[in-house]
Structure 1
Amino acid sequence: MSDFERLKRHIKNYLNCNSVFCRLPILRKIPQLLRESDFKVTITHIPRGVGKTTIIDIEKGDTTDKIYGVAVDIGTTSVAACLVDLYNGELIAKASSGNAQIKYGADVINRIMYSTKGNGLQELNHAVIQETINPLLNKMYMDSGIRKEQVVSFVTAGNTTMSHLFLGLYSNFLRMEPYIPAFVKTPFIKASELNIEVNPETFIYLIPCVASYVGGDITAGVLSSGMWNTEDNILFIDLGTNGEIVFGNKEYLMTCACSAGPAFEGGEISCGMRASGGAIEKVKIGSDYEPIISVIGNEKPLGICGSGIIDLICSMMFAGIIDRKGKIVKNLKTNRIRFDENGIGEYILVFKEQYDLDRDVSITDVDIDNFIRAKAAIYSGITTLLNNLGMDFTMIDKIYIAGGIGNSLNIGNAVKIGMLPDIDQDKINYIGNSSLMGCYLTLMSEDARHKLEEIANHMTYVELSVDPLYMDQFVSACFLPHTDIEKFPTVKKLLEKSL
């Protein structure tokens, strides 16, 4: 009897299955390994439906090696991953980096357009897998001493465009009305088909999307938030490059997406950066126009992340450095403000000489305008979504904020600049990377996976680009905090006191 037949016979008897499969790399290991271990081996396998299984690893003796899974959140600007012990759910390692695709465009529309040119699609696919995800995986393996062959489960989520580019799928129809994706739910895909650095037999589970601009990252976020299992009216907001919003409870879920741009993650801001070491995450400005900053990791300040930008703009508004249009005021007596030959104002947060930097860390009129547009997109998206339901802010029981804006998000300052509605701030909570948490839950629980499918099917999508109310709301919200100050009574009182 051949070695492989002997193995198959044992596995069929042990697992009560009728079909056993392995790929060539495993077959090559079998002859010598069986004899070196006196035919005492440990086999790792993955079931393939009723009565079928695939051998994905074979090791000497009764090994104590564990098996692991990976959860990955593919953001437009940032990618985060974690390595998990599948026996007990323990987090073994984590890693994050910028998405290497950013060199082809800061937002999904620019990347879609690039993907249609020449080898653009292949380059974008290579950037996210070979230049971003695989280096993160290898870093986690190095940090934890784990072999990639031990990783037998892989769950990932991203917005609909990122999901298409991850699979190398043509995505141009996503940006063209009626905005049709190639898929919302994929079949299982082997890691070897995408050249991902895990066990080649591992299935890649891509969390299902909802629509062209509401992807699996939002499905995963809704799962981890628990809003699908409560009677409270929950407003879920993901502050990424695309500002996705979900409103509802266990009875209904309505969702929309607004083009916020990458400003919340530091993109398209002259000194903006991800919420990582060296990013200014908190800012206060006194009456002397001098800033007090807090830097992630207590490192040298290299730039400013989303939470820091919110603090900065809010502080500049109340210190009288900018007006309610977001323009820097002239003739203020401070060396931290300067204007170029075109009259564009700039506020210096950190002088380069202080920390031996290559340039000052600052924010300009253009940066502030970009951020005001981003916050206006979120506020107007919330307003339009609630209007479609015949509801208003008073009917919100809780607000959950997710995304890569930074753990130090100051909720009060987000309200003061008009990004969030002026409601009781005890109702508003920042919940971090809900997409990665949803991937983790799915990695560990078959029930969670079934619930994901149910959530994706249950959400009703509202297309803001064809809703005439949205643009009116957006224009009105491009002000600090809003053109109609009566919508922000708390902020109105504070502004009156500061005058």
Structure 2
Amino acid sequence: MPEVFFYQDNKTVTVSEGTTILNAARNAGIVIESPCNGNGTCGKCKVRLDRDSLQNVITGGRHNLSKEELVKGYVLSCETKITGNIKVEIIGGQKNNTLKILSNGQSFDLSIDPLIKKVYFEGENQTRVFSGDKILGTEEGDTRDRIYGAVVDIGTTTLVASIVDLKDGREIGTASTLNPQAVYAQDVLSRIKFSSESDGLQKMYTEVIREINHLINEIAESNGISKENIYEIVLSGNTCMIHLCSNINPRSLGTYPYTPEISGAVYFDAAEHNIDISPFGIIYLPPIVSGYVGADITSGILASQLHKTKETVLFVDIGTNGEMVIAHDRKLSATSTAAGPAFEGMNITYGMRAGHGAIEFFEIDEDGNVVHKVIGDVKATGICGSGLLDIVGELVAHGIINKSGRFVQRVDLQRNEADEKGGTERISKKKDFEERFIKQEGKWVYRITDGVFLSQKDVRQVQLAKGAVRAGIEFLLKSKGLKSADVDRVLVAGSFGYHLREKSLINIGLLPKEFAGKVEFVGNTSKSGAQAFLLNKGYRREMEEAVKNIEVLELANCKDFEEVFVQSLSF
């Protein structure tokens, strides 16, 4: 049987002949980005083989590679079958060892009244641990000074964990990593499909539990805490992630009417799910709004106190799935839309996660000069989501991309500029723009920096993603009889959203121009809301009641959705 050696991980795996390189990596527990889940359409799973290794594979997907890449030995791992021993070099952007993951989020002043309590019985020299009125277990001696809880934000892409002192609410430490489920399936829909079979569900479940234990152990060890003194863990995430971490098949989320098998607001025995905390520890799952508006949004509502505001406030979590909630007249309405992976840099020619080498900031100054910032202050190798929206937003604002999303030809650009006041001067300032348009593979692309380009296809991907979110916002406003100008505040949540700029979101039309000056970036409210659930048991009943009263708008049932979506594609 062939052996596959992965250079960076110094790991060898034996596979059956005919196995793809992507599946060989998955068998070895190695992450190779594959946003299309191995369908050969995104071109993101590129790896490089040496000359000898190329003799031992059957290649496919060559249409997604440039001539230069083919000469250098690049292949698509999802379409390259192994026939003999090979050595694989995973491209730098694939590893994500330097991924920027946001752990902080907006919260509110809360009183500390956790579900977990300790009472010391001096005569018996024992401490009893209570969950409300229920005794969880007994410990020898007086252990009242050691009482902790944990929270984990289970995102589709990342995991963020923290340990909290239940005596005073102090956060002891945090840790984060990529969600290991991405090895098998990148987005929510592909995970639902993968987990619909028992073997797939078991892989998803065991992988996420293993990584949760790893994060908790990392925090505990670095802060001198015993995991046995962690008595409750709150798991917050979208509806699919809550199913997978509970070992519950999410099949129903993939078919209409997308009804979840679990509605949250439940407790589990941590030991039964192999969560490595106190032997009598418990798990709490916050209430779920709907099949595609999950516990992470419930946590966000709590963290932002959206259910108590007297204002008209729009809460938007921008990511692969755009979930949004609007508060109006003290009532909440929610919806969700499938934005796709473009905002995470996927399905983009030079797209990558937010790690070293990713362009995360882009601006064109008054003189037409390009200013950009790269994560890690190293040479740019790609574009992450925030950089992508900056780039497209600036090109739209400066007329390099028109309203329909098309690159403006050089002659058109010159004509437009000459028609304006001071035309000759303006043209000279735009000279840099003109020089940045070059041809690759016979098609015009915009050069952002040496080796990193934006294609027309990339712009279309951004249009589709932003159009889906904007359409969701429009329908949510329409359902309440509101116009954009009626919104008092806009809260943009999530790790990705935190790194965005209001200007870029409005330039590309993801947010209406009437939202200018009203946007607040509130960060990882899934985690901060989960901490509120942990620190005060009263919020659990409060949010259970709030969720029951949320009106869920299913965009699939809106007869004119396609028309509004097409309108929302325009820049």
TM-score category (smaller protein): 0.7 to 0.9
- Taking a change above 3 Å as real, the CA distance of residues 449 and 146 of structure 1, as seen in their structure-2 partners, is same
1:416 equivalenced with 2:496 (yes/no): no
Gaps of 5+ in 2: 1-117, 411-430
TM-score, normalised to structure 2, is 0.70
**Separation of aligned partners in 1, 2:535 and 2:217:** 22
Say what the alpha-carbon RMSD is for the aligned residues: 2.8
Query: Greater helix percent: which structure?
Result: 1
**Separation of aligned partners in 2, 1:361 and 1:41:** 67
Q: CA deviation at 1:291?
A: 3.2
The aligned residue for residue 77 of structure 1 is 157
**Separation of aligned partners in 2, 1:13 and 1:348:** 67
Q: Is the contact made by 1:229 and 1:250 (CA closer than 8 Å) also made in structure 2?
A: no
**Which aligned pairs between 1:468-487 and structure 2 lie closer than 5 A?**
468-480=559-571
The aligned residue for residue 129 of structure 1 is 209
1:395 equivalenced with 2:452 (yes/no): no
1:53 equivalenced with 2:153 (yes/no): no
* Residue identity matched to 2:271: S
1:110 equivalenced with 2:190 (yes/no): yes
**Separation of aligned partners in 1, 2:380 and 2:329:** 44
Q: Is the contact made by 2:201 and 2:247 (CA closer than 8 Å) also made in structure 1?
A: yes
Q: CA deviation at 1:474?
A: 0.8
Q: What is the number of equivalent residue pairs in this alignment?
A: 433
The aligned residue for residue 241 of structure 2 is 162
Q: Is the contact made by 1:83 and 1:91 (CA closer than 8 Å) also made in structure 2?
A: yes
* Aligned equivalent of 1:215, options 289, 294, 318: 294
- Taking a change above 3 Å as real, the CA distance of residues 265 and 138 of structure 1, as seen in their structure-2 partners, is farther
Deviations 1:287-345 (A, max 9, x none): 887632224454664543322221111122234443333344556976644444363x4
**Which aligned pairs between 1:20-59 and structure 2 lie closer than 5 A?**
43=127, 45-48=128-131, 50=133, 52-55=134-137, 57-58=139-140
Q: Is the contact made by 1:305 and 1:406 (CA closer than 8 Å) also made in structure 2?
A: no
**Separation of aligned partners in 1, 2:341 and 2:277:** 30
The aligned residue for residue 96 of structure 1 is 176
**Separation of aligned partners in 2, 1:92 and 1:128:** 22
- Taking a change above 3 Å as real, the CA distance of residues 96 and 348 of structure 1, as seen in their structure-2 partners, is farther
> Secondary structure at the residue paired with 1:308?
helix
Q: CA deviation at 1:147?
A: 2.0
- Taking a change above 3 Å as real, the CA distance of residues 274 and 156 of structure 1, as seen in their structure-2 partners, is farther
TM-score, normalised to structure 1, is 0.79
* Aligned equivalent of 1:370, options 461, 464, 474: 461
1:349 equivalenced with 2:448 (yes/no): yes
Q: Is the contact made by 2:381 and 2:452 (CA closer than 8 Å) also made in structure 1?
A: yes
* Residue identity matched to 2:456: D
**Separation of aligned partners in 1, 2:273 and 2:224:** 24
**Separation of aligned partners in 2, 1:42 and 1:250:** 51
**Which aligned pairs between 1:324-343 and structure 2 lie closer than 5 A?**
324-329=403-408, 336-341=436-441, 343=443
Deviations 1:117-170 (A, max 9, x none): 46111111123222x322222222233222211211211111111111111211
Deviations 1:238-296 (A, max 9, x none): 11221011111462111100111233333333443444565432111358876322244
Q: Is the contact made by 2:309 and 2:327 (CA closer than 8 Å) also made in structure 1?
A: no
1:439 equivalenced with 2:530 (yes/no): yes
Q: Is the contact made by 1:77 and 1:262 (CA closer than 8 Å) also made in structure 2?
A: no
Q: Is the contact made by 2:153 and 2:159 (CA closer than 8 Å) also made in structure 1?
A: yes
**Separation of aligned partners in 2, 1:179 and 1:348:** 43
* Aligned equivalent of 2:323, options 244, 247, 261: 244
> Secondary structure at the residue paired with 1:170?
coil
> Secondary structure at the residue paired with 1:442?
helix
- Taking a change above 3 Å as real, the CA distance of residues 445 and 294 of structure 1, as seen in their structure-2 partners, is same
- Taking a change above 3 Å as real, the CA distance of residues 13 and 439 of structure 1, as seen in their structure-2 partners, is closer
* Residue identity matched to 2:441: E
State the identity %: 36
Q: Is the contact made by 1:116 and 1:172 (CA closer than 8 Å) also made in structure 2?
A: yes
Gaps of 5+ in 1: 1-10, 16-38, 352-359, 481-499
- Taking a change above 3 Å as real, the CA distance of residues 404 and 270 of structure 1, as seen in their structure-2 partners, is farther
**Separation of aligned partners in 2, 1:403 and 1:12:** 38
Moved more, 133-142 or 319-328: 319-328
* Residue identity matched to 1:341: E
- Taking a change above 3 Å as real, the CA distance of residues 350 and 190 of structure 1, as seen in their structure-2 partners, is farther
The aligned residue for residue 19 of structure 1 is none
* Aligned equivalent of 1:458, options 534, 549, 552: 549
**Separation of aligned partners in 1, 2:248 and 2:486:** 41
Q: CA deviation at 1:85?
A: 1.4
Q: Is the contact made by 2:136 and 2:281 (CA closer than 8 Å) also made in structure 1?
A: no
> Secondary structure at the residue paired with 2:264?
coil
